[in-house]
Structure 1
Amino acid sequence: MSTLKITTFQAYLFWENIDKNLQNLGLRLSSIREKTDLIVLPEMFSTGFSMNPEKFAEEMNGRSMKWMLEQAKKFDAVVTGSIIIRENKKYYNRLIWMRADGSFEYYDKRHLFGLGEEDQHYTAGTRKLFVELNGWKICPMICYDLRFPVWLRNVNEEYDILLIVANWPERRSLHWRTLIPARAIENQAFVVAVNRIGHDGNEIYHSGDSMCIDPLGKVVYYKPNDEDLYTFSINKEDLTHARTSFPFLKDADTFKLNENNRF
């Protein structure tokens, strides 16, 4: 399928309140009236960016996973976003890729935000995730991963869409608004980046600035400040045109990450 329809939800999140977040997100998503292929929620959408995983972590059969499946079935679409997961006595900031049939994939955040002490509470992931949806190859990542171009590098056209879910603060929004177009241009891919809005429990403000940027760096969608549930389409023809007209990826440096994900 040449067209992919994506619904992004730049949501206000209630601090460390799973029940209230799931209830509010479900209510707001119920206003979706058109068919969509993919619904994208922010990082840690059920809690906000909490450093209290021992209190709010869920198992892989927990209520947030069940809620995601309910929404995926309801809209016959993939639902994605990250939640706090406990597994083998460790905690993960885990992105879930939930399909309507109940099957799912997951990605554990690779780069933990040391400035916010995330690395003291969570375990880093070690593998990338590539998923397919309606003929599109998608690489999901989480927030701080955006700053590390080697980890995100599109080697041999591994992906068509780089997907970022985030809790990115307004105080560093310039970096967010700069890095997303850079990642789209250097990787010749669409970048879909979904952030939250509002203050968290530490009184840190998030301005949203969710966006979709095409492979040539043009803005498909951009929304600052307000909560926003928005559906838009991207076309495979635009991707093919960018890559054939400007075949930069074939001239990229080759490299290989070792088992520790370092040169």
Structure 2
Amino acid sequence: MKIAAIQMISTPVLAENMATARRLLQEAAASGAKLLLLPEYWPLMGLQETDKVDIAEPAGEGPMQDMMAEMASKLGVWLIGGTIPLQAAQPGKVLNTTLVYDPQGQQIARYDKIHLFGFSKGEESYEEARTIVAGNQVSSFDAGFGKVGLSICYDLRFPELFRALGTSSLIVVPAAFTYTTGQAHWEILLRARAIENQCYVLACGQGGKHVNGRRTWGHSMLIDPWGKVLDVLEEGEGIVSGDVDESLIASIRESLPALRHRKL
């Protein structure tokens, strides 16, 4: 199956970002991709961290969810919707949520980001817990070629999450990695997750300078189960794509049965 990741530079305007996502999803599907991945925070990179609270939708309804369901059905693809803000029980906070739609436009999986990013160095500071409620359950789905494990951005630093998912054929990582941390660790961590889980990793980033002044690392990429980078887009808007080869997964796991050799 051909799969693709959509790299964006989201703005503070929801309508602009929805139009961009539609256009790039259509381009990716036209190239033959049957599983599409949007980045974290694709609907909005706000001027204030609280802006996402204002557009948060209740689970199951709203323009962001309607658009994703419509695009999955219209294009006949599996659509992994990056992340959108869903309403949380705590006032002033949201859930940072990945929703998955099948080619009929039905929502078939959901994952609420478990690990909330915190970083402070010089003038650069982030603390997602101020506006986001953490999830508490791992999630995956079957896309016809094997299990697809869901994760979001900062989750990448916690290998135990991927072990908890069990044996996967593909791990997806929608993200908005900062330029600072991405430059240092993004590719290393992604390749490590692919190697240790002997599966494909499709990572999808925000990739450039945003209106709010934030700069994201981009470098959306597809990595094979041996840790080889098959495609990468460094910065800017665009698409990363490639094929999932089930026979390669089986061959690597047979010749190097590390998953069967686990002790802990």
TM-score (norm 1): 0.89
2:221–2:240 CA contact under 8 A, matched in 1:
no
Tell me the residue number matched to 2:23: 27
Amino acid at match of 2:15: D
Deviation readout 1:61-89 (Å, 9 max, x if unpaired): 01000000111011100111110110434
Output the CA distance in 2 between the equivalents of 1:193 and 1:156: 19
Deviation at 1:48, TM superposition (A): 2.5
In structure 1, the residue matched to 2:222 is 212
Cα-to-partner distance string for 1:98-156 (whole Å, 9 max, x where unaligned): 12323211100000112311112111111011100013211010000001111122665
Structure 1 Cα separation of the partners of residues 14 and 212 of structure 2 = 17
**Where do residues 180-199 of structure 1 align in structure 2 (5 Å cutoff)?**
180-199=190-209
Conservation of the 8 A alpha-carbon contact between 1:146 and 1:179: yes
The residue number in structure 2 matching 1:91 is: 94
CA-CA distance at 1:186 after TM superposition: 1.1
Q: 2:161 matched to 1:164? A: no
Amino acid at match of 1:13: S
| Structure 1 residues 103 and 29: CA distance shift in structure 2, 3 A | closer
Q: Pick one of 10, 13, 19 that aligns with 1:13.
A: 10
How many angstroms does 1:44 deviate by? 1.3
Does the 8 Å CA contact 2:222/2:242 hold for their aligned counterparts?
A: no
Question: What's the counterpart of residue 100 of structure 1?
Answer: 103
From the superposition, tell whether residues 19 and 138 of structure 1 become closer, same or farther in structure 2 (CA, over 3 Å). Answer: same
Letter in 2 for 1:168: F
For structure 1, which segment, 133-142 or 26-35, has the greater mean C-alpha deviation from structure 2 after superposition? Answer: 26-35
> Are 1:160 and 1:190, in contact at CA under 8 Å, matched by a contact in 2?
yes
Instruction: Give 1:11 shift.
Output: 1.3
160 and 154 in structure 1: CA distance in 2 versus 1, 3 angstrom threshold: farther
Contact 2:171–2:201 under 8 Å retained in 1 = yes
Q: Out of 82-91 and 164-173, give the one that drifted further.
A: 82-91
- What's the CA shift for 1:176? 0.4
Question: Which of residues 132, 137, 155 is equivalent to 1:145?
Answer: 155
**In the alignment, is the contact (CA less than 8 A) between 2:231 and 2:241 conserved in 1?**
no
Q: Which amino acid aligns with 2:20?
A: N
Q: Secondary structure at the match of 1:240?
A: helix
- The aligned counterpart of 2:49 is 51
Whether contact under 8 Å (1:143, 1:166) holds in the other structure is yes
Secondary structure in 2 matching 1:127: coil
Taking only aligned residues, the RMSD between alpha carbons, in angstroms, comes to 1.8
Q: 1:228 to 1:59 in 2, by over 3 A?
A: same
Offset of 1:35 from its aligned partner? 3.0
Secondary structure of the corresponding residue to residue 233 of structure 2? strand
The answer to whether the 8 Å contact 2:26/2:75 transfers is no
- Tell me the distance in 2 between the aligned counterparts of 1:154 and 1:123: 21
Shift of 1:54: 2.5
Q: Which runs of 5+ in 2 are unaligned?
A: 120-125
Q: Which structure 1 segments of 5+ residues have no match? A: 255-263
Mapped partners of 1:154, 1:236: distance in 2: 21
Q: TM-score, normalised by structure 2?
A: 0.88
